[in-house]
Amino acid sequence: MDNYTKADLEDREAQLSSRTNVISKSFITDLWMKVLNRAIDDIVLYTIMRENDVPLKQEDLEFEASAHGFLFDDDYRIPVDDYKIAIFCECGWTTVKQMSFFSSGKCKCPNCHIMQDEKETDYRILEGQKIKEISLSELLGTWNIDDIKGFRVGVRKRVLELIKSKKHTADVRAAAKNKKDMYMNKTTENVQPPSEEELTEFDKGIIRVLDDIKVLLMAKNRKYGNSATNPVRAFSKASAQEQIKVRIDDKISRLVRSTTKEDDEDVIQDLTGYLVILAAIQNGYIK
């Protein structure tokens, strides 16, 4: 590609991709406002990760540095989205359009006359486009914003507000989960199994299935040498719990693709067994 590397292509596509709008839904049609929102969102994300002692990968550090540079460094410049895209309409018509930060992000198909949003439509960036660069101050100038210092003060304030909001949301969710767990534990503790005389047809059916699964799991565990919770690791280093989850995914995939009743019954039995093992591991009943 002439002056157009794969990284440039990915960067352009990232700018067109749908991102959470953290400032206002009214800016959804402005592509460059989404870029600003993305930078703010990234700073908030990585700040929270650091505070929670979550290790950052090299790519995380690069995203974080890019976000800080764009918002707070006068000399930091990024490529502008000034290029041509081919927009593919559902009617089969292809429209070529110049894309820039001045564009509205909307276009009308000349064939079916339906208004389209290129961010939500199948498109392809045309090769050989000249890449331009722009700084934050130049970008703000296109919106007649001269007070870049005041803008950055507002950005810092917004970052702090978002961090506080996300922490509050996390605390509320944690409290709700703890309350639910306490309720479930309390409910389980107070539940008494029915007597033999009180068993209903439903109760007997559940007991029969669980007894079958119990016998199957114990027999397989003896036959295969505790391979479910202590697998032989020739290649994979994943934990036993993660490997159980992989087996569950595989069984669900087989269940979706199965074509016979016999296949369904075998897969459901195996899937139920793996879910029981997973529950036992997560509850600490199996080490």
Per-domain residue ranges for the chain? 6-162, 197-282
Helix-, strand-, coil-residue percentages of the chain, each rounded to 5: 60, 10, 35
Residue 186 — very low, low, confident or very high, per pLDDT cuts 50/70/90? low
* Encoded amino acid at 16, one letter: L
Whether residue 94 contacts residue 86, with contact meaning beta carbons closer than 8 Å, is answered with yes
Express each pLDDT in 257-287 by its tens digit.
776 776 677 788 888 888 888 888 888 888 7
Mean pLDDT of 158-182: 85
Confidence at residue 160, expressed as pLDDT on a 0 to 100 scale: 92
Q: Is the pTM of this model over 0.95?
A: no
Confidence at residue 22, expressed as pLDDT on a 0 to 100 scale: 33
Question: Cα 226 vs. chain centroid, distance in angstroms?
Answer: 34
Express each pLDDT in 40-87 by its tens digit.
988 998 898 888 888 888 888 888 898 899 899 988 887 665 567 777
Residue 157 — very low, low, confident or very high, per pLDDT cuts 50/70/90? very high
